Amino acid sequence: MPQFSKDDVKFLAEEKLYTGFFSMKKYRYQHRRYQGDWSPVVEREIFERGNAVGVLLFDKEKDHFVLVEQCRPGALPGAGSPWLLEIVAGMVEKGEAPEEVAFREAAEEAGCDIEKLIPMPGYWVSPGGTTEYVDLFLGLVDSDSVAEFAGLETEHEDIKVLVLERDALIESLQQGHINNAMAIIAVQWFLMNEKRLEL
C-alpha cells in the first residue's frame, strides 16, 4: 500500500483550459514528500477524457474470444495500421454504473448479450497526464450470436467483430497484433487468473 493518502495532497486550484469532445484543465497542488516536508506548488495540464469500461467477451463452451476491430485516430501517426484489435469498450456516461456500460457496449459493438459479468482489476490509463480510469470486466457470451459488423452510426463507428480461438488470441498477443493497453491487460489478466474464476 502507498505510504501516503489523498489527505496528503493540498489541492489549490483548477483552471479550465479547453472544452470540446474532450477537455483540458490545469491543476495546482502540493503533496507531502518522502523526506517529510511539502513539495513546491506543482502545476500540471491534465487531459479530462472521462472514465471508460472494457469487456473481454469469452465463450466458455467453445473456448472462443470475441474482439472488435476499428480505425483509431490516436494510432494514425504510427507506422502500422490504425485499425486496432480491441476488446469491447466505451465511455461511462453521467449517472451510469460501469456494469451498465459493459452490457450496453457489448450490444452496440458486438451485437451480443452478456450472460454473466465478472469484474477484473481496473487501472489508471496514464495518471501523469489524464484522469481516465478503466473498469475491466470479463463477459461470458455465446459467440454464435455476435454480429459480423456493428457500431453506432451516430458515433461514426464502423466495427468488424472477430471470433478467435484461444490459440489465435494468444498468437495475436505474442505477435503484437493486439497492441493497445486495454486489450493486453484484459487478455493477460484473464489467462493468468482463469483457473480461479467461477465461470
Q: Which residues of 102-115 are buried (b: 16+ CB within 10 A; e: fewer)?
A: bbbbbebbbbbebe
**Rounded Cα distance, 123 and 125, in Å:** 6
**Pair type for strands 159-165 and 64-71:** antiparallel
Structure-block grid coordinates of residue 76? 494514425
- 155 tagged catalytic: yes
Q: Which residues pair with 159 in a beta bridge?
A: 150
User: SS3 of 56, please?
Assistant: strand
Catalytic residue among 45, 155, 165, 198: 155
Q: How many CA atoms lie within 13 A of 55 on its CB side?
A: 32
The Cα-based distances of 131 to 33, 44, 182 in angstroms read 22, 12, 16
Q: Which residues are catalytic?
A: 155
